Amino acid sequence: MCPEICRSLPNSVPASPEWCYSAAATACTGVAPRSQPHQRRTTVKIEIYNPAAYCFTGACGLSVNPELVRIQVALLQIQKQAPGVEVERYGLVNNPQAFAANAAVARLLQDEGAKCLPLMFVDGELVSKGRYPSNEQLQTIIRQGGLDVNLGRRRRTVSC
């Protein structure tokens, strides 16, 4: 039988599970399995569900919300460094259908109310609830998705 191929080897021949799989597949089918090259992800989808009193840039009206400005700048940096990142932002007042269409968002709103907002999903997985992630957390989340971004502060050089 095909799985017996590794048991039939002499003890002097080391056989890893990968080799056994490859050898068994070749013996059974006559075709060696193709190795899968390591594939780096090229796309990541970020979805942000914002509270009702939400302004896209943070600089609306007479006051400026520094947290909204920070997250907007961070998202723009991410998109500049990794063009495969898609960002969708929804406001509770402007896009109520988006909140209803996402079962996880609808459930959180029903269970916890609007205090759970903002919500951030990356590739459909909830990564932040009730606040925006810090730049460091956002960078880590995107890197875990397989894309390399740097949201660190740039050092200024002083010249004489």
Pair 18, 52 in one domain: no
Residue 104 lies in a domain: yes
Q: How far apart are CA 158 and CA 152, in angstroms?
A: 19
Q: What is the pTM of this model?
A: 0.65
Residue 115 lies in a domain: yes
Residue 123 has pLDDT above 60, yes or no: yes
What letter would DSSP give residue 115?
G
Q: How far apart are CA 128 and CA 122, in angstroms?
A: 9
Mean pLDDT is lowest, of 98-102, 123-127, 142-146, for 142-146
Same domain assignment for residues 1 and 22: yes
Query: What would the pLDDT profile of 59-73 be if each residue is shown by its tens digit?
Result: 556 677 888 889 999
91 belongs to a structural domain: yes
What mean pLDDT comes out for the span 13-38? 41
**Residue 156 CA to its chain's centroid (Å):** 30
Q: What is the DSSP string of 2-47?
A: GGGGTTTS-TTS---HHHHHHHHHHHHHSSPPPPPPP-----EEEE
The answer to whether residue 6 sits within a structural domain is yes
Q: What is the CATH number for 103?
A: 3.40.30.10
Q: Is the pLDDT assigned to residue 95 strictly greater than 70? A: yes
Q: Is a pLDDT exceeding 80 seen at residue 111?
A: yes
Q: How many domains, the chain?
A: 2
**Position with higher pLDDT, 9 vs 44:** 44
157 part of a folded domain: no
Residues 21 and 61 in one domain: no
Residues 56 and 77 in one domain: yes
Which residue segment(s) compose the domain that 133 sits in? Answer: 44-144
Long-range (24+ apart) CB contacts under 8 A made by 98-107 are: 98/49, 99/49, 102/47, 102/49, 105/49
Are 19 and 98 within one domain? no
Query: Are residues 71 and 26 both part of a single domain?
Result: no
Which residues in 95-114 are b (16+ Cβ under 10 Å) and which e?
Answer: eeebbeebeebeebbeeeee
Question: Are 56 and 19 part of one and the same domain?
Answer: no
What is the CB neighbour count within 10 angstroms for residue 46? 21
Same domain, 59 and 133: yes
